[in-house]
Structure 1
Amino acid sequence: MDVTKAALAALNTGITTAFNARLTGVETTYGRIAMTVNSTTRDQVYPKLSELGPMREWVGERFIERLETDGFVIRNRKFEKTIAVGVDDISDDQVGIYTPIASDMGQTAAELPDELCWEQLEKGFDTKHYDGQFFFDTDHPVLDKDGNEISVSNFGGGTGAAWYLIDDTRVIRPVIFQDREAAKITPKTSLTDDNVFHRDEFLWGAKRRCAAGFGAWQLAYGSRQPLTPENYGLARQAMIAMTGHRGRKLNLKPKLLVVSAANEGAAREILTAERNAAGATNIWRNTADLMVEGRLTL
């Protein structure tokens, strides 16, 4: 085809359309564990998400709980994906393959939050949160109803394949996906662009600014113990009994069990089998949704 401005405009439209259609059409999974926060700055500052006590009977003056606005900071990151197409390929009508490639770029951009959020969850075993403890830890400090510091655990221990119980019934989630700039694709296809002059190729580049960080540690319980009915039951018990700041009963609902492929069989046996290994009624059947996440590596 003749490489004219009109032909390039049509090609750009086709590639942008393919990119955007896939960008909005991909089924993602990060929303089960992450809340999305629209960011307006390079560094987004968050209050400490654990320091809200219970409602109290109003006697006398109000008791004001001031959120510490410097609880923790999540810095946005910049991501790109760029493809080059030779001018001769366009001239020779070799353009049919590039629309699927643009679609794949859109899928990659759409799945970036998945990659970041699941990676962040796995970092919880060896990365500290705002309270100075690892996100999954046995010693999270909170205050009891009398104002005394006590330790609360959201970690079951162990060194094996990780599994997670999640309360996904709340707006706040254990992970934060911070969206600063939505994904978009930009062409460099002007016949006077430097890339055309120097390398005889057109460029299409996708860009997205975002980040992932930890949210409320109370809403996730991580374990690297063997996934057995006994350990599953202990994890549920720990979450349901968990108290927050000033003795607040959190009333957590461990509705989601997240596992990697390594624990899929054990998880299905716990959550779907009618009978346990001894032939008795499986009391854990249907007590949580099962999510097998292929991006988990631990």
Structure 2
Amino acid sequence: MIVNRGNLSTLYVAFNAAFNAGLGQAPSQFQRIATVVPSTTKSNEYGWLGKLPNVREWIGERVVHGLQNHGYTIKNKPYELTVGVDKDDIEDDNLGIYSPLMQSMGESVGAQPDQLTFELLKNGISTACYDGQNFFDTDHPVLDKDGKETVQSNVDSDGNGAYWYLLCTKRALKPIIFQNRKPPQFVSMDTDTDEGVFNKKEFRYGADCRRNVGFGFWQMAYASNKPLTEENLQAAYTAFTSRRGDHGRPLGLVPDLLVCVPNDKFKAAKILTANQIAGTDNVMKGVVEVMDSAWLL
């Protein structure tokens, strides 16, 4: 192939198509547990991640509830993935290996939202959320019915196994926030005056994007590293649904999803789909759905 502008433009179109094909083929789970929030700036502040009060009967004047400002900010991060194509391969029409490579690049970029989301969930045991405590913590500050500060827990770390998670994903704001500033773009450095071409005979193709993840409400999640058994799942479910907000207000949150590592997938499925366990009716059948993710390993 003669290396000229016309042929390089044609090559870019082919590589871009392969990249987008891979981008669309990447399996995706993150939107089940993460709310996608568009971003137009360097960072977004979620100061309203405090509490929203209940609707009250309108007696007298309106009661204006100020949103507690926690100053929780998610800063967008830049990400890139770049590959080099040898100029000799273009001249010799040795391009068969590159289209699958561009498609693989698209698959990798397409999988990144899952990677960011589930890795953040995994790191919730040691990463702070809006109230300054770790997302999964035993000491989340809450006001009791008398207005005195007390603490609540959304984690059971008394085991030594892999963590599994109960999540409420049916509300407008899910446990994770996926902040999207700039979607993936396929770009190239493919002119003779580009540094890589001039010095290394290497045309460069890549993708870049800007995004990040952060935590929503800790009240919508529960983590445990105890063995995944019917008894422990019941205990976690009960702790989740009995949780109260400030001033003793029932939150009415119900988990609908169990997230676990792949090794626990079939164990979880047995607990949640079997008609009977140990000769007795399985009261946990169908209570929540199961999702496993390799990004939790």
Give the alignment's TM-score, normalised by structure 2.
0.95
Residue identity in the other structure for 1:31: Q
**Mind listing any 5+ residue stretches in structure 1 that lack a counterpart?**
none
1:272 Cα deviation from its structure 2 partner: 1.6
Which one is further off, 174-183 or 17-26? Answer: 17-26
2: CA distance, partners of 1:83 / 1:139? 46
Alignment of 1:277-288 (within 5 A): 278-288=278-288
Unaligned runs of 5+ in 2: none
Match of residue 42 from structure 1:
42
After superposition, the C-alpha distances for 1:136-180 in whole angstroms (9 at most, x for unaligned) are: 122211223442323222112223210000111112111111111
* CA–CA distance in structure 2, aligned partners of residues 57 and 150 of structure 1: 27
Match of 2:151 in 1: 151
Give the structure 1 partner of residue 23 of structure 2: 23
Residues 99-248 of structure 1 mapped to structure 2, 5 A cutoff: 99-158=99-158, 159-248=160-249
Distance in 2, matches of 1:100 and 1:117, equals 26
Q: Secondary structure at the match of 2:22?
A: helix
| Distance in 2 between residues matched to 1:113 and 1:247, nearest whole Å | 36
Larger displacement relative to structure 2 (54-63 or 195-204): 54-63
Measured in 2, the distance between the counterparts of 1:248 and 1:23 equals 44
CA distance in 2, matches of 1:69, 1:6: 56
Are 1:90 and 2:87 matched, yes or no?
Answer: no
Separation in 2, partners of 1:132, 1:205: 37
Query: What is the distance in 1 between the residues matched to 2:176 and 2:280?
Result: 37
Q: Indicate conservation of the 8 Å contact 1:256/1:291, yes or no.
A: yes
Question: For residues 59-102 of structure 1, what are the alpha-carbon distances to aligned partners after superposition, in whole Å with 9 as ceiling and x for unaligned?
Answer: 22222222245530111111111100111100100112111111
Query: Would you identify which runs of 4 or more consecutive aligned residues in structure 1 move more than 4 Å?
Result: none
- Equivalent residues of 2:130, 2:215 under 8 A apart: no
One-letter amino acid of the counterpart of residue 221, structure 2: A
Identity of aligned residues (%): 42
Measure the CA separation in 1 of the matches of 2:29 and 2:213: 14
3-state SS of the aligned residue for 1:116?
A: helix
